[in-house]
Structure 1
Amino acid sequence: MSVWQLVAVGLVMLLGLVGVLAPGVPGQAIVWAAVLWWALADQTPAAWGVLIGATVVLLLNQALKPLLPPRRPGESGAPRKSLLIGGVAAIVGFFVLPVVGGIVGYVGAIYGAERLRLGSRGAGWASVRSVMRATGYSVLVELFACLLVAGAWLGAVILS
């Protein structure tokens, strides 16, 4: 697989990760499609293993969705900008501090944005709790599943 194809797959995967944050965009499907594209072009055992793992992780995430609270961003009281900042920080945090950084980045960035907006530490934490109840858990679980897939793909590309 050429470098340009790998870059294109990576960009599609990044689009899927951002799509998880946008309501109505099938972010998981885009991430899975990027892994499928890579596996069909690469056709190594590692590529097929990542595709199988990605399929299992994303199907498990779909099975867990009914157990999580539905997304209701309007009920959190936080502006979309704070949620977007949290999502971007989760993506960056996942790769800076593998696995745990996604959660820390999401919650920490929402807290920081809300503290700046509201002006106090207590109000910032109250807003974080409200965001997590209204949208946070479902977004965080879906984003985390997609980040695991993206991390596995990146690891396989680097190691091969």
Structure 2
Amino acid sequence: MPFYGELLVALTICVGLVGIVLPVLPGTLLVAVAILVWAVVVGGWAWAVFAAAAVVLAAGEVVKYLVAGRGLKSAGVPSTTIIVGGVTGIVGFFVVPVVGLFLGFVLGAYASELVRHRTFSHAWQGAVAALKAVGTSMLIELLGALVASGIWLAAAFYF
């Protein structure tokens, strides 16, 4: 693959990594597609690199849901709190650009927990637990994408 092609793949991977941290774009999917396009163009041994990266990305996706679910379960937060927080986060994203997603999520989770517990302190504890679960899952997804990106980078420079 020519240098500009690999540069374009690297740029797409970087955009994907940013998309994981600022959930505007499907970050993990962008990283996977970028490495897939690279493997299609390069061919041969590049398919093994793509397979390794895909396994790491898939493992990261599975682990992030398991860890977040366990954290929420231990804190006593139901999945409806996450769903309400997610929906209000999406609405918040369009109302207040960039920070609206996070602000909407926190307010939605807090409102959901307030309806459930009827006390402000318990509602805040539930919202904080939901926020920690989302943050943890984001870090796990980012770690998986960084490892997959490292696999691609090592292969791109080695071969």
Partner of 2:68: 69
- Larger CA Rg, structure 1 vs 2: 2
Residues of 2 paired with 1:8 and 1:39: CA distance?
Answer: 13
Change (3 A) 1:158 1:132: farther
Residues of 2 paired with 1:14 and 1:36: CA distance?
Answer: 15
User: Identity, % of aligned pairs?
Assistant: 34
The letter for the 2-side match of 1:150 is S
Change (3 A) 1:133 1:3: same
Residues of 2 paired with 1:59 and 1:135: CA distance?
Answer: 18
Uncovered stretches (5+) of structure 1, i.e. residues with no partner: 75-79, 84-128
CA deviations 1:15-44 (Å, max 9, x no partner) are 101010122521000000000000000013
Residues of 1 paired with 2:59 and 2:15: CA distance?
Answer: 21
CA deviations 1:49-79 (Å, max 9, x no partner) are 11001111111122223213277698xxxxx
The letter for the 2-side match of 1:17 is L
The residue correspondences of 1:1-150 to structure 2 (distance < 5 A) are 1-45=1-45, 47-69=46-68, 133-150=132-149
Uncovered stretches (5+) of structure 2, i.e. residues with no partner: 70-81, 90-98, 103-127
The letter for the 1-side match of 2:3 is V
Residues of 2 paired with 1:141 and 1:62: CA distance?
Answer: 8
Q: Normalising to structure 2: TM-score of the pair? A: 0.59
Q: Does residue 1:152 correspond to 2:157, yes or no?
A: no
SS at match of 2:148: helix
RMSD of aligned C-alpha atoms? Answer: 2.7
Q: Normalising to structure 1: TM-score of the pair? A: 0.58
The letter for the 2-side match of 1:18 is V
Partner of 1:111: none
Residues of 2 paired with 1:55 and 1:134: CA distance?
Answer: 24
- Stretches (4+) displaced over 6 A: 70-74, 129-132
SS at match of 2:8: helix
The letter for the 2-side match of 1:12 is T
Residues of 1 paired with 2:19 and 2:27: CA distance?
Answer: 4
Residues of 2 paired with 1:65 and 1:158: CA distance?
Answer: 30
Residues of 2 paired with 1:60 and 1:135: CA distance?
Answer: 17
Residues of 2 paired with 1:32 and 1:58: CA distance?
Answer: 8
